[in-house]
Structure 1
């Protein structure tokens, strides 16, 4: 048994079976069969990870026995039962045609270690920040006392005023740092907590936020870099050539990483992947931005009211990317695939009594086996929504207007998610990068940026550390993407989880 301290059940044996043989997320189930029970007795189990699946035979029992049961995902048996927990011990009595499941030993609290260590880190960080604050205050006081007793320094010569330096938006760095921190935590197993891992199919869990957050925050930086280049009179053609160069580097870089996973076999090497999706979405969104970004101060749109410039300056891009998103929806629900119903977006396998066993992912899987495309179409819109947030930063100079506009976009994203899930029956699904998943994670991104911006850049109640240091890179896009994803060398476990998709993390 690997659990210590918090995960110690407090006893070494349960009957004749040693607790040390239980691994993380395992429990004992003692099956007791009465003499009138026909043999064999079949135990059926259903996991919540398998949507609309039938009960699956777990074991065949001829005599009373003790089984190990996995408790990571919530599961039920064909009997009223309490939820099974880690290192718990349970008795299943079968007699007279009835089954009764009882808890013999309570499971451990698997969340307690997580709460404990998070609390320790928060306390240590608070002590560090408090100590730093008082040290700085003491230093300032000492400097003031030293200046008070000396002679007045001679007047300095007047210097020509330097141009005001643009204030760095530290909340963007903190945003990236949070995403990087969660990415590292998830890639190293997330403590084997099921609720911190990726959702098995439909749904949204913590690990599912990392990839869309990176795409969205990459989009935020695009208009900032584009505006800087245009102010320097860099031609749009030269900007586009730089975009192609960066995209090609990212694409080839992930091909190199995939040679580790596939042992360098070019016949089976995986073409699509995380950085490939970054490269493709960046090429499309930044490419259109290079040619369809209007500069309000250059005479291209001088008649626009200032409070709607962040919207109207992007009208051509709104039209282009909305068309791409509609194309994604049309292909998903109208493309006919061999042996599969039109518009199927389920996991295949055992769902619906294995009726669509080889239809995993529907059109998304069918197309991506030929060309990594369909999921990228909705990802492009996610990056574009990031550029919308970045344009708010450029064209709204005060905090109130920025927060109002970001909040408006967040509400719109949540309303669209509600409509797509509740009325259009499009579930939140990262594997397919469904439009509802894209809008939901984008809405969360807007909300997170609002919180960080208020705390760090407006009220200055937090400097963004320690996340700021992990995400503090220059606004140059090659630095952003390379720094953010250089730690993704070990993609093997994610690739195996869904080899036909292009978004393993």
Structure 2
């Protein structure tokens, strides 16, 4: 029953310790001028109470150790002036956790031979991580003990994302591999030119029609803009595939 876990107990112990250290530093470190446990974007957030606290402990540690980063991210919605790297020291620890959840998904695929066993294990892991993450964020978008925050790679974010990924893995495994009801299109096409699309997005992400500065600055408007940009790049990938154009390294 636990053959995908017990032989790898040392790996689980290492990952668990990493998450515990990340959580303790994030919530208990007394950041100068900001206090303990702030997980917000700074700037205008919370009536400018934490204006220069962008990223909380994660942002403070990175700025203290490295100064200004090459990656100079700001958050337009909150008019932040303080640079923050979403891929800093603390964020790496929780991103390692979500990568390991991918390892676990692959381990289940290779360990269990019966389709039913694979599906049950994926659903168990998906339900556990999803519910745990939702409990941490209080089943809300912006609140809870540890709010969902992609730029911080918060623990609730990686848990919720892991849970959804386990569910999606289960769905795709059944529909594509077992019942063969779907061949993966249109997602198949971007995968054939992934390097080109990545470089193209980095170059044109702030250029119309791929991106623009919304008049109404909300999460919804940015979501629509990014979905529209994704649609355009998928369309471009389909065009390239139909004309036998491929870029690879």
TM-score range, shorter chain: 0.5 to 0.7
Which secondary structure state, in structure 2, belongs to the residue aligned with residue 309 of structure 1?
coil
Per-residue deviation, residues 431-471 of structure 1 (Å, max 9, x unmatched): 11100000111111111111111111111112223323543
Which residue number in structure 1 is paired with residue 53 of structure 2? Answer: 359
* Structure 2 counterpart of 1:418, from 134, 141, 146: 134
Q: 1:467 aligns with which of 173, 179, 187?
A: 187
User: Secondary structure of the residue that 2:126 maps to in structure 1?
Assistant: helix
Q: Please name the residue that 1:387 is paired with.
A: 103
Cα distance change of structure 1 residues 464 and 351 upon mapping to structure 2, 3 Å threshold? closer
Question: Which residue in the other structure is 2:197 paired with?
Answer: 487
**CA–CA distance in structure 1, aligned partners of residues 185 and 202 of structure 2:** 28
8 Å CA contact retained: 2:3, 2:111: yes
Displacement of 1:354: 1.5
Q: 1:337 maps to which residue?
A: 31
Distance 1:491 1:328 in 2: 30
Out of 150, 163, 176, the residue aligned to residue 430 of structure 1 is 150
- When the two chains are superposed, the root-mean-square deviation of aligned CA atoms in Å is 2.4
Task: Return the offset for 1:419.
Answer: 2.0
Query: What is residue 403 of structure 1 aligned with on the other side?
Result: 119
Superposed structure 1 runs of 4+ greater than 4 Å apart: 483-486
Quote the Cα distance in structure 2 between the aligned partners of 1:466 and 1:352: 41
**Pair 1:448-2:175 in alignment:** no
Which runs of 5 or more residues in structure 2 are unaligned? 67-87, 207-212, 214-225, 227-249
**Alpha-carbon displacement from aligned partner over 1:33-85 (angstroms, at most 9, x marks no partner):** xxxxxxxxxxxxxxxxxxxxxxxxxxxxxxxxxxxxxxxxxxxxxxxxxxxxx
Closer, same or farther in 2 for the Cα pair 1:351/1:469, shift >3 Å? closer
Higher helix share: 2
Who is 2:247 aligned against? none
**Number of the residue aligned with 1:106:** none
Change (3 A) 1:331 1:491: farther
**How far did residue 323 of structure 1 move?**
0.6
Q: For the residues of structure 2 that align with 1:435 and 1:428, how far apart are their CA atoms?
A: 8
Residue 320 of structure 1 corresponds to which residue in structure 2?
14
Secondary structure of 2:175's partner?
A: helix
Per-residue CA deviations over 1:363-385 (Å, capped at 9, x if unaligned) read 11112333521111100000000
Q: 1:347 to 1:381 in 2, by over 3 A?
A: same
Q: Which is higher, the Rg of structure 1 or of structure 2? A: 1
User: Larger relative CO (CA 8 A, sep 6+): 1 or 2?
Assistant: 1
Rounded Cα–Cα distance in structure 2 between residues aligned with 1:365 and 1:488: 26
What CA distance in whole angstroms lies between the structure 2 residues aligned with 1:329 and 1:488?
32
Where does 1:69-468 land on structure 2 (aligned, <5 Å)? 307-369=1-63, 370-371=65-66, 372-422=88-138, 425-468=145-188
- Counterparts of 1:484 and 1:379 in 2: how far apart (Å)? 21
Q: Matched residues in 1 for 2:155 and 2:189: separation?
A: 32
TM-score (structure 2 length as normaliser): 0.66
What is the CA distance between 1:311 and its match in structure 2? Answer: 1.3
- Residue 114 of structure 1 corresponds to which residue in structure 2? none
Q: State the secondary structure of the residue aligned to 2:3.
A: helix
| Equivalent residue pairs, number | 180
Q: Which runs of 5+ in 1 are unaligned?
A: 1-306, 473-482, 498-504
The structure with more strand, counted as a fraction of residues: 1
Change over 3 Å in CA distance of 1:491–1:464 after alignment to 2: closer
In the superposition, relative to structure 1, how do residues 487 and 445 fare at CA in structure 2: closer, same or farther (>3 Å)?
Answer: same
Deviations 1:384-420 (A, max 9, x none): 0000000001111121100000000000011211221
